Structure 1
Amino acid sequence: MIPFAYSKPHSIPEALRLAGPDSRFIAGGTNLVDLMKENLVRPQRLIDINALPLREVAASADGGLRIGALVSNADLAWHPQVAARYPLIAQALLSGASPQLRNMATVGGNLLQRTRCHYFYDSQMPCNKREAGTGCPARDGLNRYHALFGASEQCVAVHPSDFCVALAALDAQVVVVGQGGERRIAFADFHRLPGERAQQDTVLDDDELILALELPARGFADHSAYLKIRDRASFAFAVVSVAAALELDTDGNILEARLALGGVAHKPWRNSAAEAVLVGQRPVTQAFAQAAEQMLHGAQPLAHNAFKVELARRAIVRALSNAAAGVSS
């Protein structure tokens, strides 16, 4: 591990003064420390933000919920307001990692996880995410876990977070602050597709710090489900995951639908056309299958992951069926 400076500011302005392209904010460190151990990132300074006042979970101005960036994944998953109003969030968080990691990992850090491509984590292999212009060996290599949507010649990796898939379905917002002041970013816009700059995962500037997440007032508490398909039952990243949420009218028809997929793109994957297919329909398997077909339209499987198309199709139908029935998995 290379030498680095360490700072622990006690105010947000102090933290921002230390920020820059050669610095990294650290809280739980469950991803960043691994990257440093493998010599994949080499910050000149770590800025420990654990002393900042970012641990509150409170009502937001519009009746939703504001979640401080330093709230742990475990605390958020078991928070009574989240369990009652946003069970989709709790389900997604509890399906991720291990209890020990959930105790350490933070809300803000979860959003900033790097993709889990094995070529990215192998410092002996070329990788455009580590060094632009070196190539993407996953395109023609072992790509079972890689993208169906939104990939480019530069990168075919997928975003690893379960939590983020649920946040995408609920239309959360990310509140950040930098030297230029505070701004809110729609969750759909927070993560980038790789394009020509695969090394940049989010739209954050180097000096920006995540302050909080804001959830809208409506959490689809009665009809939502998170389904994670993985190779083993514990501590494995999703091969495919689905966050599904429905609102039914008084006659039992679908008034609104939300769908987001994980494990298929460089960011949580939404398709408004697939959601629109469901509006006005009865919550039955045939309608869910139609939505799945639309959701997977345009998928571009690689040499070893074509099976994920059918897997995702079945997972979407199952997740929507669970959501309609009011069961979590």
Structure 2
Amino acid sequence: MKPFSYVRPTTTEAATRERATGATLLAGGTNLLDLMKLQVMQPDRLADINRIAQLRGITTDGAGNTHIGALTTNADVAAHPHILHHYPVLSHAIVAGASGQIRNMATTAGNLMQRTRCVAFYDRAAACNKRHPGSGCAAMEGANRMNAIIGGSEQCISVHPSDMAVALCVLDARVCTRRANGQGREIPIADFHRLPGDTPHMETVLQADEMITSIMIPPTPIGRQTYRKVRDRASYAFALVSVAAIVQVRQGYIQEARFAFGGIAPRPWRIGTAEQALMGQQPTPAILSHAADIALTGAKGHGDNDFKIPLARRTLMQVLTILSREDEHD
């Protein structure tokens, strides 16, 4: 591991100043430290933000919004009574990820900032535009079973590995940030992760001096919620395909429909026109299939991951069918 300097800022202001000078923020370290050991990431300076107490906790405001601190652990979010009652899709998604030990360390902001698990990205001998811009993409014609079928580019077909982000996407969550100048903003989670285009090394819309302080989730959406994850083994495995969904059916017609894919794109994949195609419709196989067609428009396999296209379709159809049938009995 490359030598690095280490500091412990105790305020958000100090942490953003460290960011502005090029420091890498350290929270749970469940992804960062692995990458440092492999020399995939070699930061010169780490700023450990674990002493910033105001970045922890789950609260609600007068408007019914829920705020999750950036340093709140995945385990604490998943087990919190308020999350379980109002946002079960988020709890289900978090529990589907990693292991109990990792969830005890991994943080809310760190989960969103984790790097791809693409084989080429982890292999320092392989070409990777995300790791070394301009070097090429070994995954394009190599080992790409876990890679993207949609949203990628000629420069990169990696996927974002977060389960939590997919659930936050259907909940219309916003990423709250702070910059070194004291200014902050709220970024819709759907806009937080960049598509690779010609700059796959630029993974989020965060500025150089900007850090996540919390996640804001609007009041509980109407409808039944679920998260379905298809993976190679029952636990401690990244998604081949996942679907987070919220559906409300009344008198046989869909009143509300939200869904997002994980495991198939560089960011959670939610297509508003696909959801709109379900509104006011009976949840018949033909209608659900039409929505899947819209959501997966442009999907393309690269050899090893060709199977993801029919798998994504079947997973979405199954989730929407189950949610629609159950809601009719409320």
TM-score higher than 0.5: yes
Q: Are 2:105 and 1:110 aligned?
A: no
Match in the other structure for 1:271: 271
Cα 1:326–1:42 change in 2 (3 A) is farther
Measured after TM superposition, the shift of residue 21 of structure 1 is 5.8
Cα 1:92–1:62 change in 2 (3 A) is same
Q: Given the alignment, which residue of 193, 202, 206 partners 1:191?
A: 193
How many equivalent pairs are there? 325
Match in the other structure for 1:171: 172
Between the aligned residues of both structures, percent identity stands at 46
Q: Are 2:68 and 1:67 aligned?
A: yes
Structure 1 CA distance for aligned equivalents of residues 326 and 204 of structure 2: 33
Deviations 1:258-298 (A, max 9, x none): 11001111101011111011100123444322222221122
- 5 Å matches for 1:150-229? 150-180=151-181, 181-220=183-222, 222-229=223-230
Question: Do 1:224 and 1:322's aligned partners in 2 also have CA atoms closer than 8 Å?
Answer: no
Match in the other structure for 1:15: 15
Structure 1 CA distance for aligned equivalents of residues 264 and 277 of structure 2: 21
- Three-state SS of the structure 1 residue aligned to 2:149 is coil
Match in the other structure for 2:96: 95
Cα 1:112–1:292 change in 2 (3 A) is same
Cα 1:21–1:322 change in 2 (3 A) is farther
Measured after TM superposition, the shift of residue 325 of structure 1 is 4.3
Structure 1 CA distance for aligned equivalents of residues 295 and 18 of structure 2: 43
TM-score (norm 1): 0.95
RMSD between superposed Cα atoms in Å? 1.4
Structure 2 CA distance for aligned equivalents of residues 147 and 303 of structure 1: 11
Structure 1 CA distance for aligned equivalents of residues 110 and 90 of structure 2: 16
Point out where structure 2 has 5 or more consecutive residues left out of the alignment: none
TM-score (norm 2): 0.95
Match in the other structure for 1:120: 121
The one-letter code of the counterpart of 2:14 is E
Deviations 1:166-190 (A, max 9, x none): 1111110000001241111011110
The one-letter code of the counterpart of 2:208 is D
Measured after TM superposition, the shift of residue 326 of structure 1 is 4.8
Question: Do 2:20 and 2:180's aligned partners in 1 also have CA atoms closer than 8 Å?
Answer: no
Match in the other structure for 2:255: 255
Cα 1:325–1:74 change in 2 (3 A) is farther
